[in-house]
Structure 1
Amino acid sequence: MPLLPLLLPQASLLYDHAFLTGPEADNLLARLSAEVAWEQRAIRIFGQEIPQPRLTAWYGDPAARYAYSGLHWEPRNWTPALAALRQRVEAATGHQFNSVLLNLYRTGQDSMGWHADDEPELGPEPAIASLSLGATRRFRMRPRAGLAHVPLSLDLPNGSLLLMCGTTQQHWQHALPKTARPVGPRLNLTFRWVHPAG
């Protein structure tokens, strides 16, 4: 099934709610949860260091070094499962990716705050392909200053794929808030192209 557009001003969003079958997604969730080298790094907020409310990992080509929120990432080598996923996501989206950021949300209390993927090494109009495995969580988008539009809420189920590209990161922020509902783990993989330094 091709990715279908989601209408949002000053943004380019494409979505497939069933990019992977349920069994495929379940198997990948179990495999990646076990074999990925997970970390829980600390970030500095208002002068205090606090652990990120999720587990993270960074994989990619050797030159795909990345930095955000004061964290610097050296890519680990692609695992066979991640390399195969990259090929499938590239074929579906028509974009090339040299890296993937993995976020494991263990419970509903794990979250991601408001941000845009607008680091210089991603370029002015990055393509970010977001693959969700596991529990359905609510993904939120809100307009940045200067854009008058209502926020968007989108439930991202197991096996879904969301592509954000064009000027999306310039005009919108996104987040994955906490939820009080009892939910199982969710693994999110965001494939991207990092421009090598220099």
Structure 2
Amino acid sequence: MFEEAWFQSSLLDVDTPETVGALGTTVERVRLTDGAWVDLRRGWISGADELFARLMETVPWRAERRKMYERIVDVPRLLCFYADGEPLPDPLLTEARATLDHHYAPELGEPFTTAGLCLYRDGKDSVAWHGDTIGRGSSQDTMVAILSLGTPRTLALRPRNGAAPPLRYEVGHGDLLVMGGSCQRTWEHAVPKSARPLGPRISVQFRPRGVR
């Protein structure tokens, strides 16, 4: 299905059991402006090579087309969405979501219920500046937890009011990045294109009910 896609497995993942790591004090929080924040947990999923390979093969990836500036264009990545109540495509993702629920319950007050998966096939695939403001994210504080698998890519954030330069996070194989507080309303995020030859990356975005 993806004959031209390649990914250099991590030498650190060789013979490493698949494990969802602890959160707690291992999470680094960065306070942004206007009540927004970002949490980062490096290497949250260890032994992630097999999970990456399973998702590449078993997820029913699909291409989409969307209207943009009066034209219908190809979405520059492949997608799959698991709605509230749908089983996730891998038991390790179910365990990861349960760990997120336990850690963030005091702040979020509700579970993560959906999962959106994106496959960035190479450096040409990307996502433009946006916030997850369809639904409750447009008016309420919420969280979006992003698990990154495969080739590291830049996730950039910038305030909507332009009051500060963009921040850039290089999120790699097994890393977790969580955007919380007012982040979806007051900041935007993007995965920019890269001119460098890059292998594939899978992004798993866990969201609460009614947030897109």
- On whether the aligned pair clears a TM of 0.5, the verdict is yes
Are 1:126 and 2:179 counterparts?
A: no
Work out which of the residue numbers 162, 167, 175 in structure 1 matches 2:177: 162
How far, CA to CA, are the matches of 1:163 and 1:38 in structure 2?
Answer: 24
**CA shift at 1:79, angstroms?**
2.9
How far, CA to CA, are the matches of 1:60 and 1:79 in structure 2?
Answer: 12
Gapped runs of 5+ residues in structure 1?
63-75
Superposition pairs for residues 1-198 of structure 1, below 5 Å? 1=23, 2-10=26-34, 11-21=36-46, 23=47, 25-62=48-85, 76-81=86-91, 82-94=93-105, 95=108, 96-122=111-137, 124-145=140-161, 148-195=163-210
Length, aligned pairs only: 180
How far, CA to CA, are the matches of 1:80 and 1:137 in structure 2?
Answer: 23
Deviations 1:37-65 (A, max 9, x none): 11111010111111100000001324xxx
How far, CA to CA, are the matches of 2:177 and 2:52 in structure 1?
Answer: 17
**CA shift at 1:141, angstroms?**
0.7
**CA shift at 1:104, angstroms?**
0.4
Give the 3-state SS of the residue equivalent to 1:125 in structure 2. Answer: coil
Give the 3-state SS of the residue equivalent to 1:98 in structure 2. Answer: strand
Deviations 1:167-187 (A, max 9, x none): 111110000000011111000
How far, CA to CA, are the matches of 2:181 and 2:100 in structure 1?
Answer: 17
How far, CA to CA, are the matches of 2:58 and 2:136 in structure 1?
Answer: 28
How far, CA to CA, are the matches of 1:31 and 1:121 in structure 2?
Answer: 32
The two structures, once aligned, show a CA RMSD in angstroms of: 1.8
Kept after mapping to 1: 8 A contact 2:55/2:90: no
Label 1:92 to 1:135 Cα distance change in 2 as closer, same or farther (>3 A). farther
Gapped runs of 5+ residues in structure 2?
1-22
Per the alignment, residue 3 of structure 2 pairs with none
Matched residues, percent identical? 33
TM-score for both structures, normalised by structure 1: 0.84
Per the alignment, residue 71 of structure 1 pairs with none
Kept after mapping to 1: 8 A contact 2:156/2:190: yes
**CA shift at 1:12, angstroms?**
1.5
How far, CA to CA, are the matches of 1:5 and 1:38 in structure 2?
Answer: 32
